[in-house]
Structure formats: structure tokens, C-alpha cells
Amino acid sequence: MSFKIITKNLNLWYGGFHALKNINSGFEANRITAIIGPSGCGKSTMLRVFNRMNDLIDGVRTQGEVLIDRVNILDSGVDLVALRKKVGMVFQRPNPFPLSIYENIIFGEKIHGEHIIRDKLDEIVEKSLKDVLLWDELKDKLNEPALRLSLEQKQRLCIARLIAIRPDVLLMDEPCSTLDPQATARVEELMRELKNKYTIIIVTHNMQQAARVSDDTGFMLLGELVEFGRTDQVFKAPLDQRTEDYITGRYG
């Protein structure tokens, strides 16, 4: 069994605050791994290690190793542009750019591509929108501002914008927290379809969502990865008392 992403003794500090404590884990390709835990447990921080988004915050210090395809991405020499092209992220609040729908999707192609052919762009837009099941709804209004879409459409568009640059890994930071239950169900369905092509890691505070959608689950508490395993096992027969307490709703 080969892991797509491996963390070895990963530690992270925000100034003096120890946010990730000695995390050892392995994420498999073509599976959905959920990271659950109460607010402030470090789950978003961990996700943001994988595409080095924490670099944007002043005073962050990281230790240990994070191997993606056997390359340590914490090395100072890592090409962040290439890393982020390969490891894409979907945010909690849908954040399409204030451009047209079309421009949003080809954004990645425009910043990474050198020779851009109009037909190829059209093709990318169509394929990406089809992948997120938005093509039929939006094909006639590709030039409309993306900010006019509904929240769910915006979030799907953000996913389309991401898969247009053909990443390997999709990081999703509570992607459904602003959506209503129906929209959430549809986005979860989309995730299941996408996992054939991508390694998906989803951070969520919604335990039902983790149970529904994920193959593996990690439970974090106060910066520690308390438990990590197959979702069935973590939810039905947790090994750690703290996991059981959280899952049965005793705190969090």
C-alpha cells in the first residue's frame, strides 16, 4: 500500500503556541480522508501544511517532514507554485474571483500556461464544469460575473476552477459549512465522484458528514492526532477513549 501523503513527526507553532503536536499519518491516493475534531484542534492548520498556505501567516514555524509523492514539501527549496498546482484547496467560504465564470475557470491555465489556445480553453471550461455538474446550468452564461451565482454554485465553481489545473490532491476546508443540507448532499456526492481521480482530504466539524463521505478518518484534539484509521472503525469501535467521547457527543 502506497501513501500519497505522509507526515513524520510534524510539529507546528504559531509564535509560542504549539498548534500541531508530533503528527504521524499517511493519506492514501483515491480515497477520501476526513479530519474531524472540535474548533481550534488544529485540523485546518494541518490541511494548510499540505499546500504551505501557513507560510502566509507571520511567525509560523514548522518541524518534521511532510512527504508528498516522496518529496518533502517542507524543504525551503520547494517550488510553491508547482506544489500548489499539484495540491489544490477548496475553502470554507466559496471564494470565486470577481471575474466572469469563464475567467474563473481558466484562471489557473492563464497563470500556469505559456501558450494559450482559445479552443483549448473552451475545452477546459466545458470539461471542468461538467466534472462538477454545472455545465448544463451555466453553459449559456459563462460570461456572467461569478459573484452572482448561488453559494452552492460558487463552491462548485471553485472546485471546477481547481480541477481545471489538474491537481493530484484536493484539500477541502469545511467546504459545505456555508451550504444548506440539500446542497451539502450534492457536494458530497460530487466528492465521491471525484475521488476516483484525486486524493481528497476534507476537514469538517460535521461528524455525520465525515461518516457519510470518507473512507478514512483522523480525529484531532488540542493539536494531537488522537486516532487515525478506517472510518468504520473510528466511528464504531474507536481505540481511544477521547475519540469515543467526542463521537458520542460528550464534548466538542
Partner 1 sequence: MRKLKEFIIEKLILICGLASIFFVVLIFLFLLKEGLAVFKTVGPFKFLFGKSWYPISEPAQLGILPLIFGSLLVTLGAAIISIPVGVGCAVYIAEIAPAKIKEILKAGIELLAAIPSVVLGFVGMITLVPLVKSVFHLPTGLTALSGSIMLAFMAMPTIVSVAEDALYSVPKTYKEGALALGATHWQTIWRVMLPASSSGILAAVMLGIGRVIGETMAVMMITGNAAVMPNSILVPVRTLTATIAAEMGEAVVGSEHYFALFAIGIVLFIISFAINVTADLFLHKRQ
Q: Which residues bind partner 1 (CB under 8 A)?
A: 51, 53, 56, 80-85, 88-89, 91, 93, 95-99, 107-108, 110-112, 158, 161-162, 165
CA distances from 112 to 39, 40, 81, 99, 241 (A): 35, 34, 9, 18, 47
Residue nearer to partner 1 on the CB measure, 110 or 236: 110
Supply the minimum distance, in Å, between the C-beta of residue 83 and partner 1. 8
Q: Using alpha carbons, select from 70, 74, 62 the residue that is nearest to residue 21.
A: 62
Cα 61 to chain centroid distance, Å, stands at 22
Listed residue (184, 221, 194, 247) closest to 21, CA to CA: 221
Give whichever of 108 and 238 is closer to partner 1, judged by the CB atom: 108
Closest contact distance (angstroms) between CB of 119 and partner 1 is 22
Q: How far apart are CA 138 and CA 142, in angstroms?
A: 6
> Cα(179)–Cα(130) distance, rounded to whole angstroms?
21
Task: Please say which residue, 98 or 249, places its beta carbon nearer to partner 1.
Answer: 98
Q: Which residues contact 110 (CB under 8 A, 6 or more apart)?
A: 116
Task: Give the amino acid at 100.
Answer: S
Min CB(54)–partner 1 separation in Å: 11
* Whole-angstrom distance, CA of residue 44 vs CA of residue 41: 8
CB of residue 227 vs partner 1: minimum separation in angstroms?
28
Q: Based on CB atoms, which residue is closest to partner 1, 83 or 121?
A: 83
Minimum CB distance to partner 1 smaller for 97 or for 135:
97
Reading the block at residue 110, the C-alpha cell is 492563464
Nearest-approach distance from CB 104 to partner 1, in angstroms: 9
